[in-house]
Each structure stands twice: as C-alpha cells, then as structure tokens.
Chain A
Amino acid sequence: MQLDLDRVSLHFGGVTALSEVSIQVKKGEIFAIIGPNGAGKTSLLNCISGLYRPSSGRIVFEGKDITHMSTHQRPLLGIARSFQNIELFSHMTVLENLMLGRHIKMKSGIVSGGLYWGKAQREEVMHREVVEDIIDFLEIENIRRKKVGTLAYGLQKRVELGRALALEPSLLLLDEPMAGMNSEEKEDMARFILDIAEEKGTTIILIEHDMGVVMDISDRVAVLDFGRKIAEGSPEEIQCNPKVIEAYLGEQVS
C-alpha cells in the first residue's frame, strides 16, 4: 500500500467533517473519491496534503507516518496537489509557476543562484528541461510566457496540474480537476490523468462530480456521505451499490 489512512477523523468544534475514514491506495492506481456536497471529500484531501491535521487516526505514506508532518515537507516526499478553486501564483507567468514546482529541488545558494554561475546554471537548465517536458505533455507551449491571471479558466486548471507535476510526485491529489469545464476540456483532462498514471506510474487520488468521467477512468472508487465512508470498490460495484444510490437519490419510498 502506498497510502494508508487508518480511521481518520476530523472535527471542527462540534462539527464532524470526517469520522473514522479508512482507505488504502495502491501504487499507480487512479482512486476516485465521490460523494454529495459537504460529504468531506476535500477535508480528506486536505488531511493527506497537510492543510488539516486529523483529530484522530493515522496517515501512512510509503511506510512513513505523516499524520503530524508539516504541510511544506510533504511535497518533498512526493505528494503534490491541485485545488478546487484554482490557487495559482497569478502574477507570474506559466513558466514561472511551473518552475516554482522545482523550487524545493533546487540546491544552489543565493550567491551562485543570483550570479547564475556554473552549477547553478546547469541546475537551472536541468529543471527547465523537466518543466518543458511537462509543458509539452499538457500542450500549453503557446501560453508559457503569459501571466497566469490572464488565462481562461480551463487553461488555468491545466497549468495548476502542470505545477503539481513539476514536483514529480509519486502521489497526485486532484480536487475536482474538471469542475466548470466543457465536455471537450473534460476529455482532454481525462486523457492527461490517464497518461500521467500510465506513463509516469503516478498514483492519483481525485475528487470529481462528473460520474461519467469517474466511472470511465478510475480503478477504484470510495464514496463518502456525511463524513463517513459508505462504500468502496470498482466503478461497476459502486454503480449498483444500494447505499450509494440512496446517498445520491434519497431513500426509496416503499
């Protein structure tokens, strides 16, 4: 198991956002989390990425307990994420945003970095290559010098995915990567997600509301409702699970 959540609970005052959620994610799989609004999907993702600390329970990533590890150290382990409401450095260009993904991997100090000498230059070139590959992969060559704030929504989503990829993560958390997109953009994004999992072997956990997409691309699906995991399994199993149907459509009137 690459990621192991063991009875994770999260409370905000008296409100329970998550209660005893356990999930296991295997290396290289696409794992979808679905559920009605307010079910706790984003809270769960935030616990994994470190923005929230679980009130109880344990999170183990690649054999290491990360429950209490600080947020900014997790990308170093290989956990990257995108956000539900785009969180990009909107005053920087696409290229600069992606280069920031390389930030923690840069070693040269202020002086040589500032003077752009020897090792620093080689390092920069190496990081630029990684970033250019990602730009190629996401088909955003034509906008790489543009300020992110001026881009269309669909493209911003794509840049955010690119920035997460720049960290070369082994676990990628995607919070509604297709929200607000038209069907063509959704298809592109689905293709990218499948390619990332296949070519790079990256594990992907995604939250998504579009059931068509979820059922098409995920290997396994977990369903949350009111902070509780009510079902888990392959897309086919989830589709005919009565508990899931009840959570989405309400109880059957007998």
Chain B
Amino acid sequence: MTFFLQLVVTGLVVGAVYAMVALGFVLIYKSSDVINFAQGELLLVGAYTCWTLVAVYHVPFLLAMAVSICVSLFLGIAIERMVLRSFINEPVISVIMATLGLSSAMRGILQVIWSTDTKTFPEIFPSAPVIIGPIAVSRVYLYSLFISLAMLVIFSLFFKYSNMGIAMRATADDQQAALSMGISVKVIFAATWAIAAVVAGIGGILLGNINGVNPSLSHIGLTVLPVAILGGLDSIPGAILGGLFIGVLESLSGGYLDPLLGGGVKEVAPFVVLVLILMIRPYGLFGQEIIERV
C-alpha cells in the first residue's frame, strides 16, 4: 500500500508539470488550430538557461528562474514574430510542419551549446524528505507540485477574468469577429506563444531539478501530446486533469508493470490509453464537439 501511495504521489507531481506544459499546447491550439511540436524544445531552453545561471554563474535559484522565464517569454514572442507570422493565411498543416522544423533546429542548436551530457542542478531544495503519513516525499517534488498548481490556478483565472484572457478566448472562437471588436489578433498570437514558452520553461526547470537536464527532456513534448488530446485539445480543465491522469498512469505502470515486463511500459502506457479513450470519445474527455449545422 505504501508503495502504491508513493507511486501515486510521484505521479501527481509529474502530472502537474505535464498539465502545465500541456496548457501551452492547448493555448496555441485553441487560438490558432496549430499543434506545436516544438513545445518539448521550449522546455529545454528554460531548463538549460536556468541550469547555466545556477551552476555556472552561481546566481540564486529564484533569480535564475525569473531570468529564465523572461528568456522563454521573449523566445516565444520571437518565434511567433519570425517564424509563424510569415505563415498567416497559409494552411494549418504548413504551420504544423514549420513547428516540426523549428523543433529539429532548436534541438540542434541546444546540443551545440550544451552538448548532450546530463547536467544536474546543484542541490537547491533541502534533501531531507517530508514524511506524510506512511510515505516520504522529497522536497523538490513538493515544491514542483506547489509551483505547477499555482501556475495552473493563475492561468485559469487569467483566462476567465482578465481582459487579455477574454480576448484570447474570443480570438480562439472567431478571429474575424475578434478583429471587428477591436482585438489585435497579432498581439493575441504573440501573447499565446509567450505564455506557451513560459509554462514550458517552468516545466523544464522543475523536471530538470528532479531528473537532470539532457536533450531527452524534450520528449516530454511528445508525452504532453496525449495529455492534451486526452483532455480534449481545446479544453484547459481537460489539460489539467489529463496531465494528472497521465502522470499517475505513467508512475503506476512504471512501478508495477515495468519489473514484470522488463521495462518500457511506462513510456507506452499513455499512448495505449489515449487510443482507447479516443475510440470512445473522439473529441477527448472535455473537448468541444464541433457540430456543423447545414
């Protein structure tokens, strides 16, 4: 039982980070119908920037995190400006291919700068675990859970109540109408990419603290795809629940099935469940069904 609980807690922590990264994914999809395959590389940029500042330049962690968030923010805006804006009025599939190319290019550049070795963060959080009932949870997990949940709450409120958030929802719904209401769609797109890059950057920093940073961290971008699809690509609550669900699923299948089958189940399990759920609910668990009235 302790083992089970331990796995569930680990799963929830990783799941919360997934949910946060998936938020960026969902945002971009909602506002422009584009699936961003470079989301994983955005994770890496945040993680590497923060690692360099902390480990090489000995900047305090919180400051390093703030700087990394700013770097991610501007990177997001730059990507939108330089790569995606030239694809306005092009078919969505072209834009998706562009993000795929962006992903390869960014991974190449990142490897040139930081090589492929795993970089470990110096110990930032105290290593003594916190004991909750029968289970021990290391502090880095707790802090990660706390930060991710806080970000999720902040962004949910942002979308629901802030002017910019409402403008984003309006743009996602109907771009022409948004323009006619005085909303600058270009600004909205830039903001969307900025937020997507920031949440990915924070996710990268948190996961980097847990597992170290190396290029395979960008595979999270691929794991987040089932998270987003599972919840329904256009649903923010869906992304949050999908994230937690996939996190726990990974953790449990890794703990119980990997030893029996010789490993690898953890990586496959989310996709198997994804296929099963999509067979029953093609729009995902919370996605909006699009009904065309003829």
Which A residues are closer than 8 A to B by beta carbons?
49-51, 70-76, 80-81, 83, 87-92, 96, 99-101, 103-104, 106, 108-110, 113-114, 116, 163-164, 167
Q: Nearest-CB distance from A254 to chain B (Å)? A: 45
Q: Nearest-CB distance from A123 to chain B (Å)? A: 11
| CB within 8 Å for A81 and B180 given contacts A87-B174, A89-B169, A92-B173 | yes
Q: Which residues of A contact B174 (CB under 8 A)?
A: 87-90
Q: Which residue of B lies closest to A70 (CB)?
A: B184
Q: Which residue of A lies closest to B177 (CB)?
A: A87
Q: Which residue of A lies closest to B171 (CB)?
A: A89
> B residues 129-186 with Cβ under 8 Å of A?
157-158, 161-164, 166-167, 169-170, 173-174, 176-185
Q: Nearest-CB distance from B13 to chain A (Å)? A: 27
Give the interface residue-count category, chain B.
20 to 34
| CB within 8 Å for A167 and B176 given contacts A100-B166, A103-B166, A114-B161 | no
B176 engages A100 (CB within 8 Å) = no
Number of A-B contacts (CB under 8 A): 80
Prevailing SS type, chain B contact patch:
helix
A167 engages B181 (CB within 8 Å) = yes
Q: Nearest-CB distance from A115 to chain B (Å)? A: 9
Q: How far is the CA of A90 from the CA of B161 in the complex (A)?
A: 18
Q: Which residues of B contact A104 (CB under 8 A)?
A: 181-183
Q: How far is the CA of A108 from the CA of B161 in the complex (A)?
A: 12
Q: Which residues of A contact B162 (CB under 8 A)?
A: 110, 113-114
A113 engages B177 (CB within 8 Å) = no
Q: Which residues of B contact A91 (CB under 8 A)?
A: 169, 173, 288
Q: Nearest-CB distance from A227 to chain B (Å)? A: 22
Given B173, B179, B182, which contacts A76 in the complex, CB threshold below 8 Å? B182
A87 engages B166 (CB within 8 Å) = no
Q: How far is the CA of A110 from the CA of B167 in the complex (A)?
A: 12
A89 engages B182 (CB within 8 Å) = no
Q: How far is the CA of A49 from the CA of B182 in the complex (A)?
A: 11
For this complex, 27 residue pairs linking A to B, each with C-beta atoms less than 8 Å apart, are A49-B180, A51-B176, A70-B184, A71-B179, A72-B184, A72-B185, A73-B182, A75-B180, A75-B182, A80-B180, A81-B180, A87-B176, A88-B177, A89-B169, A89-B170, A89-B173, A89-B174, A96-B166, A100-B167, A101-B181, A103-B166, A103-B182, A103-B183, A104-B181, A114-B158, A114-B161, A164-B180
Q: Which residues of B contact A103 (CB under 8 A)?
A: 163, 166-167, 170, 181-183
Q: Which residues of A contact B163 (CB under 8 A)?
A: 103, 106, 108-110, 113
- Extra contacts besides A89-B170, A92-B169 (15): CB < 8 Å: A72-B182, A72-B183, A72-B184, A73-B182, A75-B180, A83-B176, A89-B174, A100-B167, A100-B181, A103-B183, A104-B182, A106-B163, A109-B163, A113-B163, A167-B181
Q: Nearest-CB distance from B284 to chain A (Å)? A: 15
Q: Which residues of A contact B167 (CB under 8 A)?
A: 100, 103
B179 engages A90 (CB within 8 Å) = no
B173 engages A114 (CB within 8 Å) = no
A110 engages B173 (CB within 8 Å) = no
